[in-house]
Amino acid sequence: MDNRVVLVTGGARGIGLGIVKAFASIGCRVMIADLGLESESEWNYGLANKDDMDKAIDSAGALGEVASCGLDVTDRASCENAVKATVDRFGQLDVLINNAGIVQTGPVVDFSEEDWDSVFAVNTKGIFLMAKAAIPALSESDNAAIVNTASIAGKKGHANMSAYCGSKFAAVGITQSLAFELAPKAIRVNAICPGIVGTAMWLEHLMPMNTTDADEKNRTFEANVSQEIPLGRPQSVEDMGQAAVYLASAKNITGIALSVSGGIEMN
């Protein structure tokens, strides 16, 4: 894995940053690609901003060689620019991590068309646009891989989560199709299906709590979910980083959707 170049979308915090750090710590050179907005997002929970990106560079940079670029995975030109920035900086691209994602919940009868389109634009179209932009560069690598962040919600539907589950089922399907399509180019394509991870998606939207104290939020979150998970603990961003490194380095594995969920989802 030494000196392989990895591009991580949605890499400024949460699962994405966990993946960035996992690759940086084993000698990979990593491009952190994220929104990097100056102001807070107007989504139902805050998305990454410039401050998050700066902190990511500082923390991951202590582990290895990292760089950053702005990215909106719903915009074709932005995806192409992120790939170009990576190749310009590091001279190659070996691994693409399609991690950027958002969630919105609610019954279908109340769900806005705009929110539906936004969820699919990021979670599904984003994989398409990034893969399309990256495949020419990945084809030049002798050890190329794509890892998509799907979800256990991409394996089982849940009430009030039609948009999110639908987008993540699609992510699994795209993963399998790309695995077949890119096998002749020796590009492996797999997906991670995270379980319950204490990121902003969970702490600020899926499991809202009556506190603004971060430590108290985390304690309450861990206590609530530990009873639901067979292994008795939430999943961590480090777990996802470990899974991403495994899938990017396993030379005879392609087309799988690996659940990293402490046993809450088994198949």
Q: From its phi and psi, is residue 10 left (phi > 0), alpha (psi between -120 and 50) or beta?
A: left
Task: Please count the CA atoms within 13 angstroms of the CA of 62 that sit on its side-chain side.
Answer: 5
Q: Catalytic: which of 23, 45, 90, 164?
A: 164
CA distance 122 to 128: 10
Other CB atoms within 10 Å distance of the CB of residue 266: 9
- Residue 177 vs residues 9, 45, 155, 174, 255: alpha-carbon distances, Å: 20, 32, 16, 5, 8
Helix (H, G, I), strand (E, B) or coil at 22: helix
Q: What's the Cα-to-Cα distance from 65 to each of 29, 33, 72, 99, 242, rounded to whole Å?
A: 5, 14, 23, 20, 18
How long is the chain? 267
Distance CA 265, CA 267 (A): 7
Type of residue at 139: S
Catalytic-residue membership of 246: no
Element spanning 10, H or E: none
Active site members: 164
